[in-house]
Amino acid sequence: MPQAHDETHTYMAGTPMTPLLTVNAITKRFTPNQPPVIKAVSFKVYPGEIFALLGPSGCGKTTTLRIIAGFEKADAGTIFMAERPLANSTLHVPPESRGIGFVFQDYALFPHKNVLENVAFGLRKVPKKTRHTRALEVLEMVGLAALHTRLPHHLSGGEQQRVALARAIVARPKLLLLDEPFSSLDAGLRQTTREEVSTLLKAEGISAVLVTHAQEEALSFAERLAVMKQGRVEQIGTPEAVYHQPKTAYVAGFLGQTNFIHAYVKEGVAETPFGRVKVDSTATGEVLLSIRPECLRMAAPNSEISGVQSGCIVGQAFKGHDFTYRVEMKGQHYFVQTDYRCQFQVGDSVVLKAVSAVPVAPEAEE
Ligand code: ATP
C-alpha cells in the first residue's frame, strides 16, 4: 500500500510558507473490534489555500473534518493551526476556541431566526450593535442584504447555502471547513455558487478544506487535494498532478475514466497495443499503465497512424462537446475520446495511438 506524502513543502512555488493547518498522522477508531476509519491521515493547508478531501462514501472524509473542527477526538496524531497545537494526546481545544468556521451539507440554519439573526449567531460573544453591523456587511458580500429579515424557509436552496456561508465567515475565521456544501444544489447553481464561494474566500483571505465525493467538484474548486481511500490518504497534489500523474490505479480510476494496460517499459518507452509511447517515469520492465481516453488518437487502418494493431468500434457515446468510443482489440475494450466532429461509427475498423501513458501502482487489497 503506497503511503501518500505531502510533497508540497511550499504552496506557492519558491516561496517558503508556514502551513496554516497541519494534520499529522491522525487515526480514529469508533468501534473497538473494527479497523480504524481514519488511518494516519496527514496533510497541510497553506494560508489562503483551498484544499479538498476527495474520496468515495465512507472513506473517512467527514470524520477527518470533524476531528479538525474538534467535534471528535482522534485516538492518535496531532493538529496545529500555524504554531498553535489544537489537538494531541493530552490536549483537545474545544471547537468554539479553534477559530475555525464550518458549513455543513444541510446548512443547519435556525428555522425561527431570520437571515440576519442566523448570521449574527456566528458572533454571539460580540455586543449586539457590532454584531448586526458585521452580519449585514457579510450578507452584503454574499448578495443577501436585501433579504435579511426573511426566515430560512422563504429562501431558495442556493440562498440558504449563502446564509450558512455568511454565518460561517462572519467571525473572520482563518480556516473554513466545508462538508459537501454544494451537493443539494442543482448542477447550474452548484457551479455558480462554487465560483462565488471561491471568490469570497480569496477576497477575505480565508483558507478552506472542502469534503466531496465528486471528482469534478474537487478538481475545479480546489488548488490542491488529497485523494482518500478506506481511511488513508492515497495521493496529494494539484488537480492537474493527481489527474495527469496519478501514482496508483485507484487514483487514476477515481479521478476519471482511464484505460489500464500491462506493458513492458525499456529506456523510458513502453510497447503497447497502441504503439510505442514515451513514459514519463524511471520505471522499467513490466508496468501497469494508465492511459486516459483523451490520450488515445483514433484513425482508419493504413492512415497516418501505422504499425499498430487494429480494432473495431463497439460503442459510441455522444457527450455534447465530445464523443467517447469503446474499441475492442483482441478481446479487450478501450475508451477513446474524440472531438464532436469525429465521423467514425460503431462497426468501423480503427487503429489507436497513445500520446501519453503514466505508470501506476496496481490496487492493493487492504
Ligand atoms: P460520506 O461521503 O458518505 O459522508 P465519508 O467519507 O465522509 O462518507 P465518514 O462519514 O467519515 O465517511 O465515515 C467513515 C466511516 O466511519 C464509515 O464507515 C462510517 O460508518 C463510520 N462512522 C462515522 N461516524 C461514526 C460514528 N459516530 N460511530 C461509528 N461509526 C462511524
Query: What letter does residue 153 receive in the DSSP assignment?
Result: G
Angle at 209 (CA atoms; ends 203, 211), nearest 5 degrees: 130
> Which ligand 1 atom lies nearest to the CA of residue 64?
11
Nearest to 51, CA basis, from 170, 190, 167, 212 = 212
Question: Given this chain, do its domains 10-99+173-250 and 259-360 carry the same CATH topology?
Answer: no
pLDDT in tens, the chain (366 residues): 444 444 444 455 555 688 999 999 999 999 988 899 999 999 999 999 999 999 999 999 999 999 999 999 999 999 999 999 999 999 999 998 999 999 887 768 899 999 999 999 878 778 888 889 999 998 988 888 999 999 999 998 888 888 998 999 888 899 999 998 887 777 777 888 888 889 889 988 999 999 999 999 999 999 999 999 999 999 999 999 999 999 999 999 999 999 999 999 998 899 888 888 988 777 888 999 999 999 999 988 877 665 577 899 999 998 778 889 999 999 999 999 998 888 889 999 999 999 889 999 998 765
User: For ligand 1, what atom is nearest to the CA of residue 62?
Assistant: 7
Q: Which top CATH class is 10-99+173-250?
A: alpha beta
Q: Whose CA is nearest to atom 9 of ligand 1?
A: 60
350 with 344: CB under 8 angstroms?
yes
H runs (alpha helix) in 205-303: 215-221, 239-244, 249-254
101 pocket-lining for ligand 1 (C-beta < 6 Å): no
Ligand 1 contact, 62 CB (< 6 A): yes
CA of 64 to the centre of ligand 1 (A): 9
In the chain, where the domains are located: 10-99+173-250, 259-360
In eight-state DSSP terms, residue 279 is: B
Q: Which CATH architecture has domain 259-360?
A: Beta Barrel (2.40)
Tell how far CA 241 is from the center of its chain: 12
Query: What's the CA angle centered on 16, arms 12 and 20, to 5 degrees?
Result: 80
256/250 Cα distance (integer angstroms): 10
Task: Quote the ligand 1 centre to 147 CA distance (angstroms).
Answer: 36
Looking at the chain, how many residues does it have? 366
Ligand 1 atom index nearest CA of 66: 11
Q: Are 308 and 351 in contact (CB under 8 A)?
A: yes
